[in-house]
Structure formats: structure tokens, C-alpha cells
Structure 1
Amino acid sequence: MAEAHQAVAFQFTITPEGIDLQLSYQALNQIYLSGVRSWKKRVSRMRNSVIKGVYPASPSSWLFVVIAILATMYMRSDPSMGLIAKIQQVCGLGYGQTMVSALVFSTLLWLSLILTLRFCLKLLLSYHRWMFEQHGRVSTTTKVWVVRLLSGRKPLLYSYQTSLPHLPVPAIKDTLTRYLESVRPLLTGPEFERMSELANQFESTLGNRLQRYLKLKALWATNYVSDWWEEYIYLRSRSPIMVNSNYYGMDFLYVTPTAVQAARAGNTITALLLYRRKVNREELKPTRVPGTVIPLCAAQCERMFNTTRTPGDETDVLQHWQDSEFVAVYHRGRFFRLWVYRAGRLLCPREIEFQIQRILDDPSPPQPGEDKLGALTAGDRIPWSQMRKQYFSSGVNKRSLDAIERAAFFVTLDDEEQGMKGDDPAGNLDRYAKSLLHGKCYDRWFDKSFSIVIYKNGKNGLNAEHSWADAPTVAHLWEYTLATDAFQLGYTEDGHCKGEVDRSLPHPQRLLWDIPTETQVTSSLAVATALADNVDCHVFPFREFGKGRIKKLRISPDAFIQISLQLAYYRDRGGFCLTYEASMTRLFREGRTETVRSCSNESCAFVKAMNTQLTLICQGAEQCRRLFRLAAEKHQNLYRLAMTGAGIDRHLFCLYVVSKYLGVDSPFLKEVLSEPWRLSTSQTPIQQMELFDLKNHPDFISLGGGFGPVADDGYGVSYIIVGEDMINFHVSSKYSCSDTDSHRFGVQISQALQDILALLTPETKTASSNSKGPAQTQSKKLL
């Protein structure tokens, strides 16, 4: 085999005359070029470390300081006020070596200036009052602050990391007050009195003791929440991560750039590796708060590639490798290692397509036990941990498992067709979502940081593991991938990747396995299949209006949607529930998420008003509009508090962890942490609109992504606001609960959105005015 000969640098034979050594110069040249690439990366890392280490100054500013000091000394002036002479004396330098002393003083002065600048930058980034100011009424302090922040140098990806402030620990009294306010609309009078007594008792006894330990951690640790959140919420969970934790991202809604499966894989893999190159070189611009110059923490990018979650009996571990020159590929029960670099050069898209086509054309059958091996990552974690130690800790199984876990990412070449196609586009979208969320339960590797799925008809998608990062980080990667695939790399007229092919490329390498028959893959597959079959997914594009109409009403689109979800849930279930909306805390170093409790007293008051006879008269409609604006303002304030470190749930969670370490029980914390989130919601923001030219290419609209339901009797809702006139929704629930139905709830969401718009714009008829039913009739009477 040609690839076998190229895998070694030399070969030798024993002859009567001695050893006959035959060098393979081609292989040696590849080793040399690969080494050059490795050293280039090391030099790049060192250079970037220096640049971001002195940010917001620049390395060249050292030379400016040195020249300035020497110039003043030449003019017979001592800018050091005697310190240069002191350095000469301490270091034992002669009077003829004044230049060396001046260089030492200049360097120390330069470092002091850098520390001062970084301290000032940290103070600037700790200022969050701008977020609470009304639109169009910006204070002078904020204006001066923004100008100062804009005047910095062009930063690298991680330039702001050490200047970001640490997440503050809220006052325990404030957290408890906000908590009681959040549960007030969900409890009866006696229940609220009981919860208030528990909270007061907690504050006066155990709470302050736990708070002291938490403040001590906040002084010592970079972030007092993130490490515990990663460990206890994700890595210590022993239930399947498929559906329960992993989430998915979809392709374009209307467009599939090519119908050639291998070609789509070629461009997708290339785009992902180009993104990895930008991350490694820190060429990506730091992510910022949308519409502002405020940087967000970029720490989650560090483990994006070459990362795997490995199972353990008590807790899993995230393993990250610095680099990987291959990806792992699954097709029809076989696993392959595909090298994407040759002699230090990234293969072009056409070459990767050529290699993928080789895998698709490979007729070899799966080895015994290989085809459903991925089910181990889909089932419970303890059986997977035990089997990994028993059967995959040595020999050929370990080598093959290492190839998958060390790969840059995982690729599934799916033999199904997906997307909005055929005579049932709505049903096909739902099946597309379910396929990305869990597939066949054995044709994804759910432990990888993310897996790419390429379908037979050229559609693609992504499944991401949750512990290493949150959805906005993966969404940023996926936006770049889709845009680069469609607009930068492109395809030929016949749907193939562009570029030339080196047909001497070694074949993709089959991974070998020796799996005993007693390996219990079937038990993990049974658990995963039962979980997957229970998930009800519904995806629907809402096209009646988008953020353009909402913003004209001077209302936050997110607040509008969240209140609509409250109205939809009330109509669907006849009551209110604890609602989770994910907010970020990446204004702080190593920040991840915080919870916005969207079900508030104000939103409940509005929803109740919308569903009473008061809305049948104009006066009632005006009252509803007033209540809606109060609810929207309240939601925006809750969101701002969560973003600026004054949320409720992460603080209570950390207090609970401290109590467990101290071995003390708190009835209050135990009850709070056991409350079910029956409505779990999340917005997927579009962060790089400049990559998508929706004006000239309006069909290239992202579908966003979604996740499974958090509670067995609840809903999971993800939404993405696309352009000015469209919102895509992803709804999930479980078939096992007779009270939930994803399609029914989707209809309620759509109707709630239209009803609220009709309320706020009574002079404008919406689609709801032409529909029938109780809610629709109510909308008519509002008009």
C-alpha cells in the first residue's frame, strides 16, 4: 500500500555485507515541513503572548520610552530623579556604563506605565452604568468612557482577558429579595409566607457564613462561579449528555450550496480549520456586546478544537490537546482518521473532498462491534466509564479511541437526506432537528467538543457538547463556517470544491478495533434510543414580522418575545411557571451564563389582563398596553442585572456548593435548587452580520439551533432573530408528558406574537385578525 510506505522515513534490510539503509527523502521532507509548521506556530504563540502581555501598549512603545529617556539625558537632565545612578550603584556598574542603567530604568518605567494602563482599562471595563441608561439619554460619564475605550490599539483575540473585571459576589440580602420577588407570582399566599420565612431564617443563620467563604473564593479565584458550574452542572452529571446537555446548529433554511455530499464536507471541514487557524493565531476580533465596543471574555475559544469529554465514575474530565492534524470521520459503521495536513500544508477543499469521496466509496464492512460503538457516548456515563477502562485502556482499541478523542473534531457522513424539502417542509424541518440532536444515537460522538454532520443531499449541521462552552461561542464558529463555505470558498458549476487534487495523497486510515462480544454497547444504545424516541421537536420560521416592526414600537425584541412566550405558556397550560432565559456574564473574566427569571409580577399581570374581558373594550386595551410596557421594562432590567453580575441563580448555586463542602444542610437552598424549570428559553444571537449579505442573498438565512427540554413536563425554546422580518423558533418537549405538545405550543407562540403586535398597533391589521378561535376573536375585538 502506498500510504504504508509513506508512513515511515526509512527502511532497512540485513545483508551479508552489512545493513543496507534506504532513506525515503519524500518522507523526510514531509517530516521537515511538518516541523517547520510546528515551529511557526510556537513562534506565533510567543509573539502573541508578548503583544497581549503589554496591551493596551505595544512592544514598540518600549523603544519610544528608551529614546525619550536617552534624549533627556543628552540634554543634561535627569528624568529618573537619581534612580539611574542608584541602579548603577546597586548593580555594581561603572560610571562608563550609564547606557545600561538607562536601559534598565527605561524598561522598569515602561512596565510601570503598562501596569497603570491595564489598571485604567480594567476600571473602564468595570463601568456598567451605560447599560442602565435610557436610549438617547447618554450621560457625559458614559460618553467620555466610550471615547477612551475606542482609543485603544487594535487588540488580539485574548488581549482584553487580563483586563476584564472579576465577577462580583452580590450582597446576600439583595439576592434573597430578588429571589422572593421572582417566585411571588408562582406561589399562593401561604406558600409565599413559608418561603419568606425560610429565606429570612437562612439569611440570619447560615447565609452570612456561606457568604464569607464565597467572598474569600472570589478574592482568590478568577471567577467564583465558572469552575463549579462546569464541574457540578455538567461534568458530574451521570445521565446521558445526548439530548439532556448537547445542543445543535442548523444549515441555511432555503439554500444548500451543493448537493454533492463529499464537496460540502470538503468546504465545511476547510472553513472550520481556517477558523481554528485564526483562533490559534489570535486573528479573530474579540467578541463584543452587540452594537457596542465593549469586549466579552474569549476564554471559551481556547478549548474549541482538539477537545473531548472523557467519562469517569464520579465525574468526567475535559481533555484538550494543543494541536491535531487530522479529523475523525464516521460513515456506515466505520471510523476513519483523515489527515488534513500534508507536509505542514492544509489540504485544499478539493483535496479534502477527494479524501471524503474515498471514504464514501470504501466498500469494507464494519468490524464486529464497531458500527454502534458511538452509542457508548450517548448513554449513561458510568457504564461508559467502566467499559472504557476495561476494554479501551490498551492495545488497538486505545490507539483508535485516542485517534477519535485527539481529532480536531468529529465528522459524520450521514446516509440520510435532511432539510426543508419535499411535500412536507414543516415535518421535514422537525425531523432535521431531531437528527442533529441525537441521530441514530450511535452515529455521532457526543463526547467531542463538537461534531459536524454532512447529509447525503449536501445539507449539514452541528452537534455540540455543552461543558466546555456556551451556545454563542459555537454560534460564532458556525456563522463563520457557513459564510466561508458559501461566499468565500464556493463551488464549481457542477457542485464540486474548487482547487486541484494531488492524487498521491494516502488513503484515509481505517481505525481498527478488537471489541469483545461481552461489551455492553447494546445497553447504552437502549437507554439512548428510549431518550431519543421521547423527544418531540418542532422547528418553525415565523415570517409575519420581525425585529423591524418591534423596534419601531421602541420595545426590545427579546423582551417582546419573552413576554409572548409567557402568554403562550399561560394559554397552553393555564398557568405560569418558573422560566429560565440564558443570559451571558462574559463582561467578566471567564464568565459564562446567568439566569433571567422571565416570569415576573409585571409579565403575569399583563398576561392575565390579555385573557380577561377587560381587553374587549378600548379602555381595557389601553390598560394592557400600559401593563405590557411595564413588563418589557422589567424584563430589560432583569437582563441587565444578570449581565452585570447581580443575578440570582448562580449566587444561590455557589452558596449551595459551599454548604455541601462544609457539610451543613439548608432547607432554603435545597428547595430553591430543586425547583423545576418548565420553560427553558435561549436566544441565539447573530454576531457577524457583516458575513451575510442578506440584501443581495436573502435566501441565505440561518435556521439557528436548539436543545432538548430541561424538565420532563416542560418545554425547551430556542429562537434566532434573523434580519428585520423573520424569527426562527425551535421547540422541544417529551412525548411521555401528556400535558405538553411542541407543535401545539408552537401555534400558541405564533398566535401570542401576533396578538401582542395587534394590541400595540391597533390601527394595523395583522394576520391574527383573519384567523379564528378564542384567542383570534379576542384579537379582533381589540382592533
Structure 2
Amino acid sequence: MAGLLAVQCAASLRKPGSLIHFKSAAVGIHSQRLSSRRVSSEYLQESVVPSMHYQKSLPRLPVPKLEDTVRRYLAAQRPLLDNDQFSATQKIALDFQKSVGKQLHEELVAQDKHNKHTSYISGPWFDMYLSARDSVVLNFNPFMSFNADPKAEYNEQLVRSANMVCSAVRFMKTLRAGLLEPEVFHLNPAKSNTDTFKKLIRWVPSSLSWYGAYMVNAYPLDMSQYFRLFSSTRIPKRGRDELFTDEKSRHLLVMRKGNMYVFDVVDRDGNMVAPVEIYSHLEYILSDPTPAPAFPLGVLTSENRDVWAGLRDQLLAAGNAEHLQMVDSALFCLCLDDESMRDHIHISHNMLHGDGCNRWYDKSFSVIVSKDGQAAINFEHSWGDGVAVLRVQNEIFKDTTEKPLVQPGSAAAAVDSASAVHRLHFNLNPELQSGIQKAKENFDSAVSKLTIDAMEFRKGGKEQLKKSKLSPDAVAQLAFQMGYLRQYGQTVATYESCSTAAFKHGRTETIRPATVHTKRCSHAFVHQPDKHSVEQLCAMLSDCSKYHGQLTKEAAMGQGFDRHLFALRYLAHSKGQALHSLYTDPAYAAINHNILSTSTLTSPAVSLGGFAPVVPDGFGVGYGVHDDWIGCNVSSYPARNVHEFLQCVHKSLEDIFSVLEGKPLS
């Protein structure tokens, strides 16, 4: 499920009489320009427009027409099935459309009309995540690593950690004060991203403000997930977990060597604790000689959710309620690792899963800082799709690199850290100790099976592709199709996530990059390169790009098929209704067994992101298309060879760019 991380997609939004294309992200949009007003030390920015000003008037996520959903579903199935299989699936899908599907769709539409405060997918999607019993590690939590601070001396672990904590607290205070710039895509920033427009739109009632922005080609995005960013934790419960948020909390959770510490970063008056005091408290923790605990509690958050729920009940019964409350309500978790990173593969493994002991994977997000100052965010996925997380990451990076509040060589504050910092001691009976040992064994077994490798293609990128009038994302996705065909001789179910944050309580929709066009093109490049002219191959590339662009636009407008079929199935299940054969068709199971799970990310704050495969025989493909190069960070389990896959993807990109340069393939 980590592939549900919608990191960045070419998105579009259609309103009557217009078509808008924008680079959006379910993990966020590029950092907004700061207001020209003076910003106090307590806030990152002081937006003229209140943070949630547009929320009430956001357009609602549409429920697609059932016939459109069935048509799109069959189009996505076509390249995955032979003729006989497709005929059988087509017959089943059309019967669904005429019978049970029609009734369920009408009921879903009626339900949606009675719940105008949200979207039709929001409730079922939360339920899907929270009801899942698998470990959140590898199955759900992704990571995004920070670029290094351009000033080398600011990458020292203590300095960087202190600055990141200060910036995160400033972000939280800015958000809660309503002073954070709303998340808006500006199609014409010269008109809409100006002080004049902002001063005007702030006086437009919230119920109408979206329309005011729309008039100047500005498109506000949903920010409903932001309140779960801080002071939030996923609490394990048998059968279905719960999300807990305590907006009154003022303390930070810090982990080092598996030990857990808390200290206040906001004082009783609501002001941020002095940066030099935060620095001193972190210095105290880093110099604490307490050895790693024999039974590190954090590893329990990597367990099966029902197992963890049972052990948590035992923790509460053993008198640990107060300390668990401190963990759950902490603003976020800072993980200080004692290990330096060898290379970017080591970074990926450490930030995605680590050793299991120095993490609390259930926190809404954790900032991880290694001994050599490499930093990343690892986040729990049930509460949101990462819109808020990338915004936090962008703002933290911008603030720490441009306006750091702690300097290298800062003198310790005249503060008693020994009394301000509390190390949490948990009472662990033999059964809990046994549970922790078992959790660590399960964790080690799971992560030992994961392989991560990376590839950089340096012979071209976004600029050249745009000159060739091709979508950079479409070409990257085609290279994955081509690479998999080259390696395994097949076209398989592929998932690319796209944000629907242009709508109220929008989540994500799936782009299905394996198409009849990519299949035809891949076969031509891989199996019959000498039978096609450069012109013919270029025409196929163009067809792939155009169709992928169409799928992306449809997905961003809530016009895919995956979420609609999911919601109809959820509705049938909630009524105790037997599932139609559409859902028991092997082809439906196959298209939802996403062997290629893909997600793209480009941000000035982020160096790389990653997640595990969503199926045992799959690949987890994180990628970015940059101006003059293309990078991939890919994971696999033993059923697949990730090193060979990346070689095949590299070869595919070489072939594509050779053809674009007019060179025939041999």
C-alpha cells in the first residue's frame, strides 16, 4: 500500500469552458511564495489569506458515470488479457453495469448527495487503511529524504536536528494560527499570487472564495488532512485502528538508541521554547550514556496490528498509560540515529525501515536524522496522502537553509536539561518482553527480504522530452513497461497515483500506465526494433504520451475507475450483499495485484523517496524526471531482480532517446 503515496502527478482540473493543466501532488504542490509582510520569529509566514479560507467552497469530488467507469476498466484490462480472457471479463463487466452495479451506483450517488461535507471516497478510504492488519512498515509508511543543507557545517547532526525541530514548530504554530499560505495552484501567478489579489480575496466569504480564485485562474487545493499533521498517532485496536490527535500538546518525542525522551518545545503561553534551549536539550539527549534498552518498545509499532493492539492493552494494564499518552500526543517524533550513511541505498533502507528499534512508526510523521546529518521524513499513511507532509518538508527545508535559528558552535543555554528532558521508563512484564522479542524477529525477517537499488539516466530528461512534445511522466512510465517486458516478457498491472486534492476531501485516483499503446510501443522497441522506422517509433511514442496525458487528466478530475469500483464494492459489503462476479473475476484480482507500483517526486527539498513493493512479486518504483536526467529508486523482494530491472529500464530509456535523436534501432 505504500504505493498509494501520490507523490507528484501532472494533474488537471476541468470547469465549464476551461481546461487547466498543473503539476500537482497528493504529496503536495511546490512551496508557495511567502507573503511580503514581516514574519515574526514564532511563525514561518503570516498569510494575508487565512489558511482554510477556501475549504468551504471547494468543488466536490464527482462520482463518475457508471458506463464511463466500466469503459475505462475494460480499456485498462485490454493489454493485460488475451482475447478469450478479455471477452469473458467484458461480458461480466457489462452485466455488472446493467444489474447490480446500476443499483449500487444509484445508491452511492444518493449517499453522496446527503453527505456534501465530504467526498464519496473519504470514509471508505480511511476504513481501508485503518482496517488493514498488516504491519505499517514496508506495507504503508513511505519515506522522503531531505537534500543536504548547502552550507556543509549546518549538516552536523545536532545543529540540523535543532533547526528542523524549530522550523517544524514554527510551521505548526503558523498552521494553527491560520497564517499558513493556503495550498493554491496559480495558473496565472502574475494575477493571483499577488498582495493585491490576496487582500481582495480575504474579504470574499469562505463559501464563495473558491469561485473568486477561479476567476483569476487560481485553484485552491484541499487542506482537510493538515490537522492530523501534528500531535497525531495511529492507535492499534483489534479489527480497526483509530486516529488520535491532541492539539493541546506542547512536547516533542525524541528517540535515540531505542530510548524515548520528551520535552516541551512550546511553553505554557503558546510560544516556542528558545531555539538555544531546544539545542541544549537535544545535546543532552545525544550525550546521554544510557545504553540501548534490552526490550526496545518502538519495535512493537512494526507488528501486525492485532498483535500490537493486544500488547498495547497489556502495556496499559501494566501501568504505562501516562507514558503512552505522552508518546501518542507528542507533536511529532524526532529519531536521532547513531549511524552514518554509506550511500543512497543505505539512506533508503534506513529511512524506510531502519532497525525497528529507534522508530515509532505510528506517529503521523517522524523526522529522522543520522549521525552524519542525513535527514528524512517517514510518515504513517492512514491519516492522509502526504499533501501536508511534502508541504512541511518543503517549508522545513526552506526555513532551515535560509533562516536557521541555531548556528554551528552555538553555546549551550543556561538551562537544566536534566530536569526539562524526561526519559520514559516503561514497566514490561515477561509477556511484554516476549512480545517485543517476537516483534523484532518478525521485523528482521521482513526487512531482510527487501532489496533496494537505484539508477540515474544522464543522457536526457524533461527539457529534451518537452522539445519533442512528449510528456516526461509518460516516457518514464513507458520505460518501466518496456523494461519489464524486456526482463520478463509480459505486460502487467501497473499503478500510478494521482492527487484529487482539487476537490473537497479528495484523496487519490489511479492512473493505469499499462495501455494498449504502451504494449504496442514496447513490443516494437524490444522485439521488433529493425522492423520499424524512426518515424514509426516516434509516432508510437507520441500515441503513448497523448493517451497517458488523457488518463492523467481524467484521474486528476476524479474520472478514473479504481476508486469508483472500490466504493461500490465497499457499499455492497456494508449492506451484507453478495459480490457480483465482476469482483470475483480473476481479471479483477489481477489488475489489482499491482506488480509495478510507481510514484514520482520532484521537489527542491527532496533528494529521493521510496517505498516497498505492494505485492510480494512486485517492484516499488520511486522516480523523478529532472531537467536533464531521470532517476529511479526501486525496491523488490526475492521474487524479482531489481538490479536487472533497472538495467532494462536504462536500456529502454537509451532506446527512446536514441529514436528521439533520429537514430534507428538495430
- What is the TM-score normalised by the length of structure 2? 0.84
Q: Does 1:267 align with 2:163?
A: yes
Q: Does 1:437 align with 2:332?
A: no
Deviation at 1:283, TM superposition (A): 2.2
Deviation at 1:702, TM superposition (A): 3.1
Whole-angstrom distance in 1 between the partners of 2:488 and 2:541: 21
- For the aligned residue pairs, the C-alpha RMSD in angstroms reads 2.3
Residue from 605, 609, 614 that aligns with 1:710: 614
Structure 2 equivalent of residue 104 of structure 1: none
SS for the counterpart of 1:607 is helix
Q: Deviations over 1:545-583 (max 9, x none)?
A: 321222222222111211122111211221100110000
Whole-angstrom distance in 1 between the partners of 2:345 and 2:186: 30
Moved over 4 A (4+): 253-257
Matches within 5 A, 1:764-779: 779=665
Whole-angstrom distance in 2 between the partners of 1:301 and 1:133: 24
Q: Does 1:386 align with 2:310?
A: yes
Whole-angstrom distance in 2 between the partners of 1:282 and 1:560: 40
Higher relative contact order (CA 8 A, sep 6+): 2
Q: 1:274 to 1:725 in 2, by over 3 A?
A: farther
Q: Deviations over 1:105-126 (max 9, x none)?
A: xxxxxxxxxxxxxxxxxxxx87
Whole-angstrom distance in 2 between the partners of 1:606 and 1:464: 37
Matches within 5 A, 1:210-609: 210-221=104-115, 222-232=118-128, 234-252=129-147, 258-289=154-185, 291=187, 293-344=218-269, 345-365=271-291, 369=295, 372-393=296-317, 395=319, 397-418=320-341, 428-489=343-404, 492=407, 495-496=408-409, 501-504=413-416, 506-519=419-432, 520-609=435-524
What letter matches 1:639 in structure 2?
T
Whole-angstrom distance in 2 between the partners of 1:611 and 1:253: 39
Q: 1:726 to 1:524 in 2, by over 3 A?
A: same
Q: Does 1:635 align with 2:548?
A: yes
Which region of structure 1 is more displaced relative to structure 2, 448-457 or 125-134? 125-134
Structure 1 equivalent of residue 534 of structure 2: 621
Structure 2 equivalent of residue 59 of structure 1: none
Whole-angstrom distance in 1 between the partners of 2:356 and 2:466: 42
Contact persistence 2:48–2:179 (CA under 8 A): no
Structure 1 equivalent of residue 25 of structure 2: none
Contact persistence 2:493–2:593 (CA under 8 A): yes
Deviation at 1:500, TM superposition (A): 7.1
Whole-angstrom distance in 1 between the partners of 2:244 and 2:131: 15
Q: Deviations over 1:262-321 (max 9, x none)?
A: 211101111111111221122222223475621111112121111000001100001111
Q: Does 1:730 align with 2:633?
A: yes
SS for the counterpart of 2:454 is strand
Deviation at 1:251, TM superposition (A): 2.2
Contact persistence 2:170–2:272 (CA under 8 A): no
Contact persistence 1:410–1:452 (CA under 8 A): yes
Contact persistence 2:301–2:308 (CA under 8 A): yes
Whole-angstrom distance in 2 between the partners of 1:217 and 1:374: 41
Deviation at 1:544, TM superposition (A): 3.0
Contact persistence 1:453–1:462 (CA under 8 A): yes
Deviation at 1:245, TM superposition (A): 0.3
Contact persistence 1:358–1:507 (CA under 8 A): no
Whole-angstrom distance in 2 between the partners of 1:583 and 1:290: 19
Whole-angstrom distance in 2 between the partners of 1:223 and 1:531: 36
Q: Deviations over 1:220-256 (max 9, x none)?
A: 2220001111111x11001101010000011216955
Whole-angstrom distance in 1 between the partners of 2:559 and 2:429: 53
Structure 2 equivalent of residue 188 of structure 1: 82
Structure 2 equivalent of residue 87 of structure 1: none
Which region of structure 1 is more displaced relative to structure 2, 292-301 or 626-635? 292-301
Structure 1 equivalent of residue 643 of structure 2: 743
Structure 1 equivalent of residue 657 of structure 2: 757
Structure 1 equivalent of residue 566 of structure 2: 653
Q: Does 1:198 align with 2:92?
A: yes
What letter matches 1:714 in structure 2?
G
What letter matches 1:218 in structure 2?
D
Deviation at 1:754, TM superposition (A): 2.5
Q: Deviations over 1:522-545 (max 9, x none)?
A: 122222221111111123444333
Structure 2 equivalent of residue 4 of structure 1: none
Deviation at 1:502, TM superposition (A): 3.3
Whole-angstrom distance in 1 between the partners of 2:490 and 2:648: 14
Q: Deviations over 1:70-105 (max 9, x none)?
A: xxxxxxxxxxxxxxxxxxxxxxxxxxxxxxxxxxxx
SS for the counterpart of 1:215 is helix
Contact persistence 1:157–1:284 (CA under 8 A): yes
Contact persistence 2:60–2:503 (CA under 8 A): yes
Structure 2 equivalent of residue 679 of structure 1: 596
Whole-angstrom distance in 1 between the partners of 2:542 and 2:456: 26
Q: 1:582 to 1:572 in 2, by over 3 A?
A: same
Whole-angstrom distance in 2 between the partners of 1:130 and 1:530: 53
SS for the counterpart of 2:154 is coil
Q: Deviations over 1:723-748 (max 9, x none)?
A: x224332211112x1xx122222222
Q: 1:335 to 1:259 in 2, by over 3 A?
A: same
Higher helix proportion: 1
What letter matches 1:448 in structure 2?
K
What letter matches 2:567 in structure 1?
C
Deviation at 1:444, TM superposition (A): 0.6
Contact persistence 2:255–2:261 (CA under 8 A): yes
Whole-angstrom distance in 2 between the partners of 1:670 and 1:305: 40
Contact persistence 1:471–1:684 (CA under 8 A): no
Aligned length: 591
- What is the TM-score normalised by the length of structure 1? 0.72
Whole-angstrom distance in 2 between the partners of 1:347 and 1:133: 43
SS for the counterpart of 2:240 is coil
SS for the counterpart of 1:203 is helix
Residue from 557, 561, 582 that aligns with 1:668: 582
Contact persistence 1:367–1:513 (CA under 8 A): no
Which region of structure 1 is more displaced relative to structure 2, 345-354 or 753-762? 345-354
Deviation at 1:496, TM superposition (A): 3.8
Query: Gapped runs of 5+ residues in structure 1?
Result: 1-124, 135-152, 422-427, 687-691, 693-700, 764-777
What letter matches 2:135 in structure 1?
P
Contact persistence 1:329–1:337 (CA under 8 A): yes
Q: Deviations over 1:324-355 (max 9, x none)?
A: 21111111231111211245331233321211
What letter matches 1:683 in structure 2?
T
Whole-angstrom distance in 2 between the partners of 1:321 and 1:283: 20
Q: 1:558 to 1:496 in 2, by over 3 A?
A: farther
Whole-angstrom distance in 1 between the partners of 2:534 and 2:148: 37
Deviation at 1:361, TM superposition (A): 1.4
Contact persistence 1:412–1:451 (CA under 8 A): yes
SS for the counterpart of 2:631 is strand
Contact persistence 1:126–1:165 (CA under 8 A): no
Deviation at 1:605, TM superposition (A): 1.2
Query: Gapped runs of 5+ residues in structure 2?
Result: 1-12, 23-46, 189-217
